[in-house]
Structures are given as C-alpha cells and as structure tokens.
Amino acid sequence: MKRVLANDGIDKLGKLLLEEAGFFVETTKAIEGHLAETINNGNFDVLLVRSATKVTSSILDACPNLKLIGRAGVGLDNIDVKYADAKGVKVINTPAASSQSVAELVFAHLFSGVRFLQNSNHEMRNKGETHFNDLKKSYSTGIELQGKTIGIIGFGRIGQAVGKMAIGLGMNVVASDPFIKEAILHIHILPTKQDIPVKISTIPLEDVLTKSDFITLHVPGKINGKAVIGGKELDLMKPGAGIVNAARGGVIDEDALLYALDTKHIAFAGLDVFENEPTPASALLHHPLISLSPHIGASTAEAQERIGKEMAEGIISFFKNN
C-alpha cells in the first residue's frame, strides 16, 4: 500500500479518492523541524503540501524513499523543484483548479475599492451608531465597475478568468502578456446555455497601464527578480486608477505603491499577496486605501475540492505509470 503524508491537509474528496484507490493518507502535520523523520518513520512515498510546508534540498536528501511531491495549488516556490528533479523525485501541482476563485477575489477587492468597503466596514463598526450621517457623506463618491476598462497583466489561466468576469460585468478588457498574442474567452451564459466567444488581442504593457481604470496582476512572479509594477509603471497609470495584486508578493513594488496611494495618484489597491509573508509590512496593513486579504485566493470550498480531486488523480496516475 502506497503511503501519502498530506502535511498541510487535503480536501475530503481528494482523500476519499486516494483511499478508494488503495492509498493510506495521513493528515496529521509533522512537528516543526521533524518533517524528514516523520516521512522516514512513516514510510511515506508521497509528500503532499500546500504553501506552508517547505520542501528543501536537505529534506530531499534526508528522505531517499520519497517518490512524489504534490503541491496542492499553483506556486512551487516552497519546493526545491530543480533539486527534486535531479534526485528523480517527481513534483506535481494543480494549476487550473483555483483560477475561478482567484478571479472572484480580484473582483471582491475591486468592488471594495470603488465603494470604500475596506474602510467603511471598519468605521461603521466603530462610529456607525454615533456618526452615521458623517460616514454616509464621506463614502458618497463611489463609482461603478460597469463601463470602465480593466487592464490584465499576465493573460494566462487566472488573467483570462478575470477577463470573462469583467466582460460579464460590462467592462472593457485590455491585456498584456509577452507570450500570448490573443485568447478566445468563452463567456457561458447560464440561464440561456449560450457560449459566446470573445477574442482579446494582447497589447504592450505601457498601453495597458495608460488605458485602464483598474489594473490586475496575474504574472507568475517577479520577472528577473524585479517587480513588474514599480514607480515608473504606477506613474503611467491613470490618476485615480485602482490596482489589485493576487499573483505573488513583490510583483508590485510595495514602497512605490504606498507612495502612489499617499500622493492620491492611485485611488486604491487590493492585495492578497505580500512580500515577506507571513509578516507583511505594517504600512500596508494599516493603510486606509488598501483592501486586504491574507493570501486566500484559492481558499474556497470549490477550489479546494477541485485541488483535492486533481491532486488525487495525479498521484493515482503517477503510481499507475511508474
């Protein structure tokens, strides 16, 4: 019987599928600093992680019987993939399972930003009983998303999911992606069961920045160690525009963003990801113009179920073929 250590947990459907296929699945997390020992003592063939567990070269060296590492999610920055490759340990992930959930979170931040919800939630709790009319006045200048232009930087799975939702909301969509010339977005109209294809051709980054009322980032991470959006790019954005980062911490230069918000060039930001997670800069956490979430893009019941299912299928198929 093959043994799986799901060190950061696994959705119950994924666990069930593995157990039905004859795998043993352990979901108790190894004690901090004792991961290798837990893998070896438990004779585990598979280590399943989300983003919390780090799979370093020393873990890989210490666990010669490990055959497969599963990352329940997209980013592989917590796994030394090159070293695993060199040691013949296969690494698999679930790249498509969370795209819709991340896209929806982008809109949660956008809707928050244009109606000041990040701040009014907080102020209503503190002053809603005594200063209702003052608050009503100070939050009276919201705008709609409909009719505005969203600029999507990185037009892969999540970028395209955002594009579809934006079209559904009546927004104009522009996108930049050096590796994708054009994409056909299929808009599914549930009540009438129609499928409407919409072709979006990508344009240069500068044009996306200057044309958009809102920018959202969906690139794989920093490019050559550098932020995709720094001071220069923020300057190119329309005055009063909003920006959302649900990609990776550091894709927006955080200091440059704070400056752009403080000078009111940028109206608001939505951040799900941060440099230095899990200890983000306190200036970001306390800024009234930033809508915040703690890296929960994929944290929905539906995404976790898809991730668990995709991961179980990946593990089962690996042992069928090896």
Catalytic positions, written as ranges: 248, 277, 295
Cβ atoms 165, 244 nearer than 8 A? no
Segment holding 108, helix H or strand E: helix 99-115
Is 164 among the residues that bind ligand NAD (CB under 6 A)?
Answer: no
Is 297 among the residues that bind ligand NAD (CB under 6 A)?
Answer: yes
Q: What are phi and psi of 49, to 5 degrees?
A: -135, 160
3-state secondary structure of 47: strand
- The nearest distance, CB 206 to ligand NAD, in angstroms, is 12
Q: Which window, 7-15, 31-39, 157-165, 207-215, contacts ligand NAD (CB under 6 A)?
A: 157-165
3-state helix, strand, coil split of the chain in percent (to 5) is 40, 20, 40
- The nearest distance, CB 96 to ligand NAD, in angstroms, is 7
Among 27, 42, 67, 75, binds ligand NAD (CB under 6 A): 75
Q: Which is nearer to ligand NAD, 244 or 312 (CB)?
A: 244
Is 156 among the residues that bind ligand NAD (CB under 6 A)?
Answer: yes
Residue span 206-225 as binding mask against ligand NAD, x where in contact by CB under 6 A, dash where not: ------------xxxx-x--
3-state secondary structure of 299: coil
Q: Which is nearer to ligand NAD, 42 or 221 (CB)?
A: 221
Is 306 among the residues that bind ligand NAD (CB under 6 A)?
Answer: no
3-state secondary structure of 268: strand
Among 284, 289, 298, 311, binds ligand NAD (CB under 6 A): 298
As given in the structure block, the two tokens for residue 221 are 């991470």
Is 180 among the residues that bind ligand NAD (CB under 6 A)?
Answer: yes
Q: How far apart are the C-alpha atoms of 111 and 143, rounded to whole Å?
A: 9
Which residue in this structure is represented by tokens 């917590």?
A: 78
Q: How far apart are the C-alpha atoms of 311 and 24, rounded to whole Å?
A: 15
Among 179, 190, 192, 194, binds ligand NAD (CB under 6 A): 179
Is 185 among the residues that bind ligand NAD (CB under 6 A)?
Answer: no
Among 177, 213, 233, 275, binds ligand NAD (CB under 6 A): 177
Is 153 among the residues that bind ligand NAD (CB under 6 A)?
Answer: yes
**Counting beta carbons within 10 angstroms of the beta carbon of residue 322, is it exposed (0 to 12), middle (13 to 18) or buried (19 or more)?**
exposed
Phi-psi region of 97 (alpha: psi -120 to 50; beta: other; left: phi over 0): alpha
Q: Catalog residues that contact ligand NAD under the rule CB under 6 A.
A: 74-75, 95, 98-99, 102, 153-159, 176-180, 218-221, 223, 228, 246-248, 272-273, 295, 297-298
